[in-house]
Chain A
């Protein structure tokens, strides 16, 4: 179904972090951006669609001052809003927002770090663009920061702090089907496997809370009102967002899941785990019953590699890209 293409070499290897690959297609310029996190650096690669041109850029985590040790980056993700695209980077010290090509930093938000370290680690993790003008970022204490993004310029403001989670945020996702009818706009996941479903607005509204089973949910997607969640047990669960009804459960992987992605136009689902396997599934949603059918389509094994990032490169799922711990390349697959 898919065959392997030529890999893209990156300047450093990928770190073992959840969802450690972000992809953005720039159709008008026939380019695709990729970001991969390595310790305190974000590797950004711009690839032309004809496969002939690659350029590299590295973004460092912002250091408040030289006296402190380097700040490790937890996640880098592209946020596509109707008016503009931004690249958001979260680290132990704070949240940085760049223009999507990584050229200029437009915003910096410092996280509250206590003078003497406490037992709880401090970092940002979980990034999602929501609706017209919001970017939401999770933090280790469990709070979600909601930023209001103007259509241009750097006048970004912290609009709200959502406090529902008691454990560290792991991932967040917004409704990606493009449908305006879906009530739920955002889902957030934490280290206890708890999921919160939100409706965006001047004040975000909590629509539902789905309890976890003490197992971290490392990656989450929201598509056509269905939450797709990947867990440390290697399971993928499909919940109806607003009601919390569990519609399907797959014993997908033998190790911790690190990344999920959905191709919204075709309903293809990508799952990747520490067990070195990437799997492609097809989802069918029946609107009347809200039931979910999951069909397995394809496996790819990246030998001896614990995968940390897997994303579709386009909305149809025609191609996908994969990163692995200690691997200095982005592996690509295309439909045959």
Chain B
């Protein structure tokens, strides 16, 4: 399948991640607690955004993504995105990361599914980039990186044909296949049905470049039109609206890829699994193929946070109102499942370590980096983490 998916995957998934983080971090400012201590200030929030965007749009990372390669598993994507999130001072616990990933994936799936023409995947990506620019507009260095990356994306993708974009889209759709997590914001806006599937309308404007269905024309040997007839389409289609801009700046016209989360709606990032969703029980050992491991190592390696001071304290954050009990239940489930085909991140990484000498070293490095973030003891002088957790419990 397509070997050009990764840059768009990271820009869009990363973009969704930033939208959600932005909303969640802002929300903590509106706590009824009113205590100054332990609240994420505007400065903190901007810093988190700048750190993550700076790493995501760094030349090294983008260059790695732009190399032609396959789209691998969710496990790899999640690992890299977690590492991206942790290039900031923020630390997400596994439950938060899982929820965050679900939200990101479902949002991107929705955008790709409803994408009117395959080429509009670029407009969706540019919407994300435009909004990311807004997040970092006060930091010229990072803003410049975003612009540079945008230019590179335009350069690389402008020459793809519609057929190649459709292949890209099909590759993404396979990646999202069978995921039907319900998102309260989508359910509320009726873009998603209670069974987790997205609503597809048979009315409205047709995509740019497509004719409104309903016409049958016949021609003679010389190409002259001989007859025309109409047929009932079963839908209610109208002429296309204007085309969005594919340039560095411009009106993208499509709303897909814009920030759906507003500050006032905390509950909109609530997700729930559909009751009838079939969990694909994978009985195979689920080896991370060597190619995939190599990609993971390269991406992690390219994310060296050069500007991060060594003695930085990190702040744990519980992003979503997960009950204590629910968290514990999830941990139990992970422990149970890890006996067989490991569901938890740690389990799989440990198993892989035994298959291949080189892979073992690489993975140990990666796991080590990941573990460092999680297990770092909280600085007793900083209260942000503790107070946040307390705040989340009160909500």
Contact = CB atoms under 8 A, between A and B. Distances in A.
B68 A119 contact: yes
A156 interface: no
Contact of B216 (A253, A294, A303, A328): A294
Contact of A215 (B2, B116, B162, B180): B162
Interface in A275-319: 275-277, 289-294, 296, 299, 301, 303-306
A252 B164 CA distance: 23
A234 B213 CA distance: 8
A52 interface: no
Contacts of B211: 233-235, 251
Contact of A255 (B180, B207, B233, B292): B207
Contacts of A120: 3
Interface residues of A, number: 66
B77 to A, nearest CB: 14
Interface of A: 12-13, 15-17, 38-39, 66-70, 72, 74, 92, 117-121, 123, 167-168, 170, 190-192, 214-216, 218, 232-235, 245-256, 275-277, 289-294, 296, 299, 301, 303-306, 325-326, 328
Given A254-B206, A301-B202, A296 B170 contact: no
B70 A251 contact: no
A109 B69 CA distance: 23
B166 A256 contact: yes
Interface in B147-204: 161-164, 166-167, 169-171, 173-174, 177-178, 180, 193, 197-200, 202
B162 A216 contact: yes
Contact of A39 (B3, B113, B177, B218): B177
A234 B210 contact: yes
B72 A191 contact: no
A296 B216 contact: yes
Given A67-B290, A216-B166, A254-B210, A294 B218 contact: yes
B163 A296 contact: no
Interface string B261-296: 000000000000000001010000001011110000
30 contacts: A13-B177, A15-B170, A16-B169, A16-B174, A38-B177, A68-B291, A69-B291, A72-B174, A117-B70, A120-B3, A123-B1, A170-B163, A191-B161, A232-B117, A245-B221, A251-B212, A251-B214, A251-B215, A253-B213, A254-B207, A254-B235, A255-B116, A296-B216, A299-B232, A299-B233, A304-B193, A304-B200, A305-B200, A306-B113, A326-B177
A39 B162 contact: no
Interface in B87-129: 113, 116-118
Contact of B213 (A15, A168, A251, A289): A251
Contact of B170 (A17, A233, A252, A291): A17
A289 B222 CA distance: 12
- 10 smallest A-B Cβ distances: which pairs? A191-B163, A296-B231, A216-B163, A299-B234, A69-B289, A16-B173, A251-B211, A117-B68, A67-B290, A304-B200
A275 to B, nearest CB: 7
A189 B392 CA distance: 57
- Majority DSSP secondary structure for residues of A touching B: loop
Nearest to B217: A249
Contacts, number: 166
Contacts of B202: 254, 275-277, 301
Contacts of A66: 287, 289
A161 B69 CA distance: 27
Contacts of B117: 232
Contacts of A17: 170
B16 to A, nearest CB: 20
B223 interface: yes
Contact of A250 (B118, B177, B206, B215): B215
B292 to A, nearest CB: 6
Given A118-B3, A253-B213, A304-B198, 20 more contacts: A15-B177, A39-B177, A66-B287, A66-B289, A67-B291, A72-B171, A190-B163, A216-B161, A218-B166, A234-B210, A249-B219, A251-B211, A251-B212, A254-B213, A275-B200, A291-B226, A292-B218, A299-B232, A299-B233, A304-B199
Contacts of B61: none
B4 interface: yes
A273 B265 CA distance: 36
B209 interface: yes
B280 to A, nearest CB: 8
B119 to A, nearest CB: 10
Nearest to A278: B234
B237 interface: yes
A268 B219 CA distance: 20
Contacts of B214: 251
Nearest to B176: A326
Nearest to B203: A254
A245 B163 CA distance: 24
Contacts of B218: 247-248, 291-294
B35 to A, nearest CB: 47
Contacts of B72: 69
